[in-house]
Structure 1
Amino acid sequence: MRLLLMSDTHLPKRAKELPARLLADIPHADVVVHAGDWVDTDTLDLLENRSKRLVGVYGNNDGPGLRARLPEVARVALGGLRLGVVHETGAAQGREARCAARFPDLDVLVFGHSHIPWDTTAETGLRLLNPGSPTDRRRQPYCTYMTAEVADGRLRHVELHRLPRR
């Protein structure tokens, strides 16, 4: 099972549209995960229409329209993998322990908010992934998103994709 992970799209504030390379990757994903800060419902509509399956949450910049359609926290089982999605996890320092305590029932937690790619594993085995942002790199050298595979209940082949600078 192939996953495509993104967060913090902030459309149309940070960019007019999602990058072409990201859009081209969507049909190859069995599940698209968005960790919040969509900003507009058009992006949610687009991903619902183009994705085989979409798992998303709202972020701190998402208004009532998105909050009415999305949860704050999502939990799904994907081929035996227990995956969760949330927008904010707090400060980087202590993140692994804090998230492991908050989400003891998960194998993987996808989060956003910082626009900074992150891939670590807590002492409990919880894998934490932040795909960065495909539209707003902030202080990062590139806009980014991630892909991964799920096989035999395990996450494999996590890859950070750097998008061309605009």
Structure 2
Amino acid sequence: MRLLLTSDTHLPRRAKRLPEPLLDELPRADVVFHAGDWVDTATLDLLESRSRRLVGVYGNNDGPELRARLPEVAYVELDGLRFGVIHETGPARGREARCAARFPDLDVLVFGHSHIPWDTTAATGLRLLNPGSPTDRRRQPQCTYMTAAITDGRLDEVELHGLPPRR
């Protein structure tokens, strides 16, 4: 099972459209995760129409229309792995312990907000993944998204993809 992880698209504030490499990944993904800060409903509509399965949440920059369509926290089980999606997890310091305590029944937590890619594992085994942002790199060297796979009930092939600069 192939996964695509993204967050913090901030359209149309930070970019006019999603980058082509990210859009090209959509038909290859069995499940697309979006960890909030869509900003516009058109992006949600686009991902819903092009994804086999979309698991998304709203973020702090998402208004009433998006909050009416998306939860604050989403949960899904895929091939025996328990995933959670949330926008914000708080400061980097102490993140693993804080998230492991808040989400003791999860195997993987996908989050966003910081635009900083993150891939760590808490002492409890909870894997924390932040795909960064495909449209707003902030202080990062490039915009990013992630792909991963589930094979035989385990998460593998987690890969951070850097995007070329926008023209």
1:134 deviates by 0.1
2:162 maps to 1:162: yes
Matches of residues 17-166 of structure 1 in structure 2 within 5 Å?
17-166=17-166
Q: For the residues of structure 2 that align with 1:51 and 1:27, how far apart are their CA atoms?
A: 7
TM-score normalised to structure 2 length: 0.99
Q: For the residues of structure 1 that align with 2:10 and 2:42, how far apart are their CA atoms?
A: 11
Secondary structure of residue in 2 paired with 1:93: coil
Q: Deviations over 1:53-105 (max 9, x none)?
A: 00000000000000000000000001111000000000000000000000001
Q: For the residues of structure 2 that align with 1:129 and 1:57, how far apart are their CA atoms?
A: 15
1:114 deviates by 0.1
Unaligned runs of 5+ in 1: none
Superposition CA RMSD, Å: 0.4
Question: Alignment length, in residue pairs?
Answer: 166
1:10 alignment partner in structure 2: 10
TM-score normalised to structure 1 length: 0.99
1:151 deviates by 1.5
Unaligned runs of 5+ in 2: none
Secondary structure of residue in 1 paired with 2:92: coil
